[in-house]
Chains A and B, each alone.
Chain A
C-alpha cells in the first residue's frame, strides 16, 4: 500500500511532469486563462493517461518491442478520440474554448513518456496509480496557474468575483505573455519546494 502511495505522490511534486520534467507544456499554458478550462483540460488528460497506462500495462507482455511506439500511439489516439467526442457532445462550450488542444492530447509527451517509461514495464495496479498521480500533478499546476491568471487578469476565480469592485483587472495576465511569466514563477516555486523537501530529508538523516 505504501509503495502505491509513493507512486501516486511522486507525480505531484518530485517528478511533476510539467514543472520538473518540462514536458506537456503546450496545453498547460494555452488553456490556463480561466480555471474552468484548466480543470476541464486536467480531467481530460488524466482520463487518457490512466486508461492508456492501464491498457498498455495489461498487454505489456503481448506488445512486441519493435512495434511498441505505433501501438502506443494508436491506444492513446483511441482514448483521445473518446474524450474529444464526449466533450463535444456534453460540454460543447468547454470543448470550443479549448479548441485544438483536446485532440492534441494525443501528442502530449507526458502520456507517451509515462507509457514508455512506466506502464510498459509495470503491473496494471501500479500503472493506474502512476496515471492518477501524474494526472493530479498535471491538474494542480494547471488549476494553480489558471487561478493566478484569472484572479489578476479578470478579478474572478472559476467565474466568481473575488477581487473588490474597485480592482482594475490586469489584462496582461490573461494574454499569452502573462501565461509565460506566471509559469516561470511556478517552476521557481517547485524548485524551492523540492529543495525544502530535500533539506528536510537530509536533516532527518543527519539526526
Chain B
C-alpha cells in the first residue's frame, strides 16, 4: 500500500469517528464550539503521532523478541498515559504558549480510544514505521475534520426548531448520522 492511499483511506473512507465509531466521547463532549474542537483535534493529532512513534519500536524491538506480545494492551496504554504526562510537563515548562492552548485537553486524551486503536492497527495491519506515522496523521486529521464538522452543525442546531423528542443529545446523533451518509460517498474512492 502506498502512503497516499493510506492517508486518504484513514482520513475519509474509514473516518475514525464517522465510520469506525471511535473517540465518540470527546466527539460529543468537546464540540460545543468550533475553537474548542480545533484545539482538541490538534492535541489528539500531536499525541497520536508521538504514541505511534513510541509504541511501534517498543512492540517490534522489545515485545516481539521477548515473546511477550500478549502484554500489548497493558504496555501500550501505560506508554500512552505516561507519554501524555511527559508532554504535559514539557509543554508547561518550555512552551507555555502552546500549553495554554492545548493543556486542558491533554488529560482527556489518555482515555481517547482513537489513539489506542491507531497503535493497535499499526501492528495488526503490519505497517512499517513510516506507514504507521502516515496512518496516524491521517486518522487524526480525520478526527479533526469530524470534530469541526459537528461543531459547525451544532452552531446551527442552537437556533433551529428541533422536534421536542430529539432535543438535547439525540439530535447530535441524528446530525452525525446525516454527516456519515455524506461520508459514505467516499467509499468507492479506494479499491
Interface residues of A (CB under 8 A from B): 22-27, 29-30, 69-70, 73-74, 77-78, 80-81, 84-85, 100, 103-104, 106-109, 112, 175-181, 183-185, 187-188, 191-192
Contacts and interface: CB of A to CB of B under 8 A. Distances in A.
Contact of A74 (B25, B74, B120, B176): B74
A84 B73 contact: yes
B101 interface: no
A103 B80 CA distance: 14
A194 to B, nearest CB: 12
Q: Interface size for chain B: under 10, 10 to 19, 20 to 34, or 35 or more residues?
A: 35 or more
A22 B28 contact: yes
Contacts of A27: 21
A106 B115 CA distance: 12
Contacts of B120: 100, 103-104
Contacts, number: 111
Interface of B is mostly: helix
Contacts of B113: 26, 104, 107-108
A45 to B, nearest CB: 13
Contacts of B71: 81
A102 B28 CA distance: 22
Interface of B: 18-25, 28-29, 70-74, 77-78, 81, 110-113, 116-117, 120-121, 124, 165-166, 168-174, 176-178, 180-181, 184
B15 to A, nearest CB: 9
A52 to B, nearest CB: 13
B116 A78 contact: no
Contacts of A107: 77, 110-113, 116
A176 to B, nearest CB: 5
